[in-house]
Homo-oligomer: A and B are copies of this chain.
Amino acid sequence: MTSRVMVTGGAGFIGSHLIDLLVEAGNEVVIYDNFSSGRHEFVADNLKNPAVSLVKADLLDLKSLVVAMKGVDQVYHLAANPDIRLGTEVTDTDLKQGTVATYNVLEAMRLAGTKKIAFASSSVVYGEAAVMPTPEDYGPLFPISLYGASKLAGEALITSWVGTFGLQAWLFRFANIVGERGTHGVIFDFIHKLKADPARLEVLGDGHQAKSYMEVRDCARAMVHLVSSQNEAVNFFNLGSGDVCSVARIAEVVVEESGFPEVSIEYTGGSRGWAGDVAKASLAVEKLNATNFATNFDSEAAVRHTARALIQEIGLHEI
């Protein structure tokens, strides 16, 4: 069944891949993006399709959001500050672009009568979990980054709207999502560092940080699959590929794919990259797999695929 779908952050890295799938399935799609990290070229092809429209506005602009929400059946709320590390320097970005923006999405849905929301939450809501791989019912939830706090606050706002105003929700706790069109993250950073200095790659921390990775099209496919197949009031799933990849291994893979013959990989030391960085994160994905879903890439394959794609996009060997 097709319907009218809004994707917040729809011109961004993950959003634009989701738009590809939603358009392919014949939905009417409203892209809502402030283009703080989204890019026109990520959605330019789809915007040629008359079923796709673009609202260039901020989620903090509740009036524009309420207007755009009219007639929308389903929201995928993906917009957020994508840079976790920023919270160590600017403390109100995640509060505003995360928590308050999510409140505005919910309030616009209430005013417009929209009943279904899927939300891009994150594995960082688990903080430094004592259980790994970490299952969806793990507690307590003590995020250690301001970004993580905004994701948990977003989940809580959504479940409160379910309980109070009768919404239906799909909460997706993302692993590190990587792939084509990536605009941030460790692989992106490594390639830019190598472009600046092909002889030396500085890695934050001791390299033993290890996390779950998921290829972005696997992530988009999983979201669409779960929204169409899961029908609880609150549906909640870890989205990951079931294994982990270390930062040291990512550095090796990026160097291999770079083609540069002699790169010295240097570690700054310490167990984490920065204050608020979760050094080890492994997501249990049995719940996802039990819905008859399989990823195409494991963590290392997703990393290698991404390194290849971003080396092309960034133009590592161009001057």
Contacts and interface: CB of A to CB of B under 8 A. Distances in A.
Contacts of A163: 127-128, 142-145, 275-276
Nearest to A130: B137
A148 B160 contact: yes
B127 A143 contact: no
A272 to B, nearest CB: 10
Contacts of A156: 125, 141-143, 148-150, 152-153, 156
Copies of this protein, total: 2
Nearest to A100: B95
Interface string A277-317: 00000000000000000000000000000000000000000
Contacts of A125: 156
What interface size band does chain A fall in?
35 or more
Contacts of A110: 91
A92 interface: yes
Contact of A91 (B107, B128, B149, B236): B107
Contact of A236 (B140, B162, B164): B140
B164 A144 contact: yes
8 contacts: A139-B140, A140-B236, A142-B163, A144-B162, A145-B164, A146-B161, A152-B156, A163-B276
